[in-house]
C-alpha cells in the first residue's frame, strides 16, 4: 500500500466510501450539535474551523470523564496544548488512561501529567497537523479525526465506527512506535 503524507488521506484510502460521504455543515450557528446527535449520525464528514472542533473535543472529553473511559488527544504543537493544559490536568485525574500527543520538539519540556497519562511527541511525523480526540463507548472507540488544511481550517470526520477509529489508532501507534490501546 502506498504511503501518504496526509494522515487523513491514509485513513480514507482504507475506507474510500467515507471520503465520498457528503459534507455536513457543523458550523451552522443556528444549530449546536450535542454529542448524542453526533453519535446518532454515526459518521459525519466536515470542513470547519477550530471553534467547532474545540466544542466537539470538549463533548468527547466530558464523555470520557463521566464514563471513566480512556482518552487519546493530539495537539498540533505545544502552544495548542498549553491553551488547554490547566483544564486537562484536572480532566486527566478523572480518567483511567490517557495519551497526550503533540509536536513537543523538546520532550523534556513536555507536560508532566498524572501517572495514568502517556505524553508522546509526534515531532517530524504527519501527526503534527492532526486534531484527534478519541474515547471509548461500550461498542468500542469513537471520536474526532481532523487535519489542518490551512491556519484554522480543518477537514475530517467524527465516527462511532470502532473499525475506522481503531484504524486511526493503529496508524498513530505505528507512526510513534508506541502501543496505544483504547
Domain containing 92 — which CATH number?
3.30.870.10
* Residue 133 forms part of a structural domain: yes
Can you tell me the distance from the alpha carbon of 25 to that of 114, in angstroms, rounded to the nearest whole number? 37
The alpha-helical segments, DSSP class H, found in the chain are: 7-14, 16-19, 35-41, 50-66, 78-92, 162-176
* Residue 171 forms part of a structural domain: yes
How would you classify residue 42: left for phi > 0, otherwise alpha for psi between -120 and 50, otherwise beta? left
The closest of 111, 108, 113 to 97, measured between CA atoms, is 113
Q: What is the pLDDT of residue 2?
A: 47
Can you tell me the distance from the alpha carbon of 34 to that of 26, in angstroms, rounded to the nearest whole number? 11
* Residue 75 forms part of a structural domain: yes
Other Cβ atoms less than 10 A from the Cβ of 2: the count is: 6
Cell of 94: 478523572
Q: What is the pLDDT of residue 124?
A: 87
Sequence-distant (6+) residues with CB within 8 A of 173 are 179, 180
Which residue range forms the structural domain that includes residue 168? Answer: 7-21+35-176
* Residue 93 forms part of a structural domain: yes
- pLDDT under 70 in the chain at which residues? 1-4, 26-31, 106-111
Split into its structural domains, the chain has a count of 1
Q: What is the pLDDT of residue 152?
A: 82
Q: What is the pLDDT of residue 1?
A: 43
* Residue 110 forms part of a structural domain: yes
Q: What is the pLDDT of residue 141?
A: 98
Amino acid at each position: 500500500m502506498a504511503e501518504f503524507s496526509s494522515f487523513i488521506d491514509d485513513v480514507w484510502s482504507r475506507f474510500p466510501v467515507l471520503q465520498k460521504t457528503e459534507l455536513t455543515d457543523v458550523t451552522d450557528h443556528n444549530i449546536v450539535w450535542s454529542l448524542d446527535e453526533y453519535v446518532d449520525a454515526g459518521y459525519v464528514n466536515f470542513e470547519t474551523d477550530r471553534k467547532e472542533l474545540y466544542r466537539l473535543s470538549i463533548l468527547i472529553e466530558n464523555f470520557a470523564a463521566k464514563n471513566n473511559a480512556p482518552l487519546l488527544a493530539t495537539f498540533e504543537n505545544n502552544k495548542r496544548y498549553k491553551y488547554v493544559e490547566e483544564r486537562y490536568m484536572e480532566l486527566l485525574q478523572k480518567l483511567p488512561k490517557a495519551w497526550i500527543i503533540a509536536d513537543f520538539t523538546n520532550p523534556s519540556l513536555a507536560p508532566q501529567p498524572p501517572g495514568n497519562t502517556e505524553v508522546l511527541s509526534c515531532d517530524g511525523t504527519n501527526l503534527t497537523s492532526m486534531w484527534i480526540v478519541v474515547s471509548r463507548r461500550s461498542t468500542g472507540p469513537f471520536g474526532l479525526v481532523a487535519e489542518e488544511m490551512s491556519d484554522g481550517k480543518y477537514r475530517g470526520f467524527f465516527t462511532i465506527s470502532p473499525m475506522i477509529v481503531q484504524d486511526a489508532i493503529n496508524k498513530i501507534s505505528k507512526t510513534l512506535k508506541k502501543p496505544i490501546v483504547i
